[in-house]
Chains A and B, each alone.
Chain A
Amino acid sequence: MKEKTKLLILVGLFLMAYFIPWAHPVIRQSGLEAFMMLQEYAREHVLTCLIPAFFIAGAIAVFVSQASVLKYFGNQAKKILSYSVASVSGTILAVCSCTVLPLFAGIYSRGAGIGPATAFLYSGPAINVLAITMTAKILGWQLGLARAIGAVIFAVITGLLMAFIFRKDDLARTGGQIHVPDEDDTGRTLFQDSIYILTMVLILIFAAFAKPAPDAAGLWPAIFAAKWYITIFLLIALGWMLKAWFTKEECVSWIDATWGFMKQIFPLLLGGVIVAGFLLGRPGHSALIPEQYIQTLLGGNSLWANLFASVAGAFMYFATLTEVPILQGLLGAGMGKGPALALLLAGPALSLPNMLVIGGVMGVKKTAVFCAIIVVMSTIAGMLYGTFVV
């Protein structure tokens, strides 16, 4: 960080401290909401959802071979494979934004071309494990599922459209040698790795299993009653696997990767939750921004509300995962479900800073087309979701 930026931040904080009327009832209420929301996250989501999800993300980063995926992005790779792999590989490749951009630039300039590159660029941030679990846990599984499916479909369509629109430029790209990360021989079979990650996913699902409605009958209450037994059983199984299949060094690098994610994401999320709580409040409680504004702008499922959500999402910068508390606040204040999905689909993949970087790689024109495609599709998806699902 430059010294000048630090000074600006300090000055900003000073002005806030000096001028904000902290004693005003609305500000008091907002401040209270910020911490109530923080407490809700600490109590409901951190232990059962975030922590297991971090361990899964760490395991994926360390144990899933990136080399096996990246070979589908070479310039010799079959197009169909490139697109399909690009649209889903965000789950294992995009847990950190520092992988996404270099990889995108590589695929674009040396590898499979603009189509798969933009497909990857779009799907990456939207379908990583952490984002999907958080969305499903906090905003409901319907939105989580819609987000995952929407992101995969969007990635393919965006990629194909980009490849079609800019098909002439694509021919002029340079070939050349490419280097993908080395494949390590781990001594485990793919089956063992999959079982290991699956066990963790199951732990996440059972530990976070929500209390079913009081009148629900059959399987769900039974699972809910037994959830801690199942979770403990799975934890023991996981411990056994770690002992039997993994070396000590591997466990250490797993913990390192997990800790790396926690360090990177927890502070951002903490800030995001506090800001969302301060501006929007928990569902059913009002805070700084009056609810009628949000209802007028984003309520219902009109074309205007969906378009507004997409455009706002496209320009706004969401630090990793902070889109979830912000949306929770917005939904609680009266945003429609359709616009919420539109924002989720346009938001994390695009932001002003990120547009500038993409612009540096593929030029202003292509970037503008890329953003326009995403905004239009997000709007349509939001309207469809709002009309048919909710």
Chain B
Amino acid sequence: MEIKILGPGCPKCEQTSKIVTEALSDTGVEATVEKVTGVMEIAGYGVFGTPAVVIDGDVKCVGKIPKKEDVSSWLTK
């Protein structure tokens, strides 16, 4: 599984990547996590707000810090 966290590096994005890491260790799912910080690269996903989480090419959440339960459910699906 491939997870991308989009965001230029503001505190909210850090929070999001922390939550994703926690959800990964909770669920035991194996995944590579990559942070995407380039503004144009972020725009390339068609994302209009950060932080955003992209899992295997699917945009899962945009413009807010996701809840850990939500992230876990995306991971296990």
Which residues of A are at the interface with B, using a C-beta cutoff of 8 A? 66-67, 70, 73, 96-99, 101-111, 176-182, 260, 264, 357, 360-361
**A260 adjacent to B11 (CB under 8 Å):** yes
Give the complex CA separation of A264 and B11 in angstroms: 10
Closest Cβ of chain B to A66, distance in Å, is 6
Q: Complex Cα distance A180/B8, Å?
A: 17
User: In the complex the two chains form, is A178's CB within 8 Å of B48's CB?
Assistant: yes
> Are B12 and A107 closer than 8 Å at their CB atoms?
no
Interface residues of chain B, those whose CB is within 8 Å of chain A, are: 6-13, 39-40, 42-50, 52, 59, 61-64
Per DSSP, chain A at the interface is helix
A98 pairs with B50, CB closer than 8 A? yes
CB <8 Å contact, B8 and A98:
yes
- Interface of chain B, main secondary structure: mixed
User: Contact at A360–B40, with CB atoms within 8 Å?
Assistant: yes
Interchain CB contact under 8 A, B47 and A361: no
18 additional A-B residue pairs with CB within 8 Å, beyond A66-B63, A181-B63: A70-B48, A97-B10, A98-B7, A98-B10, A98-B12, A99-B49, A102-B7, A102-B42, A102-B43, A102-B48, A105-B43, A107-B48, A109-B44, A110-B43, A176-B46, A181-B64, A182-B64, A264-B11
Question: Are B47 and A182 in touch, CB under 8 angstroms?
Answer: no
- Complex Cα distance, B45 from A96, in Å, reads 21
Considering the complex, give the chain B residue whose CB is closest to the CB of A73: B48
Top 3 A-B pairs, shortest CB-CB distance: A181-B63, A98-B10, A105-B43
Task: Return A198 CB to nearest CB of chain B, in Å.
Answer: 25
**Do A102 and B47 touch (CB < 8 A)?**
yes
A182 and B49 CA atoms in complex are apart in Å by 10
Do B48 and A109 touch across chains, with their CB atoms under 8 A apart? no
Bound-state Cα–Cα, A212 to B46, Å: 52
CB-nearest residue of chain B relative to A260?
Answer: B11
| A97 partner residues in chain B, CB cutoff 8 A | 10
Residues of A within 8 A of B52 (CB): 179
Give the docked Cα–Cα distance between A105 and B45 (Å). 11
**Is there an interface contact between B48 and A181, defined as CB atoms closer than 8 Å?**
yes
Q: How far is the CA of A14 from the CA of B46 in the complex (A)?
A: 47
23 A-B pairs in the complex with CB atoms less than 8 angstroms apart: A66-B49, A66-B63, A98-B10, A99-B49, A99-B50, A102-B39, A102-B42, A102-B47, A102-B49, A105-B42, A106-B43, A108-B43, A109-B40, A109-B44, A178-B47, A178-B48, A179-B47, A179-B48, A179-B59, A180-B49, A182-B61, A260-B11, A360-B40
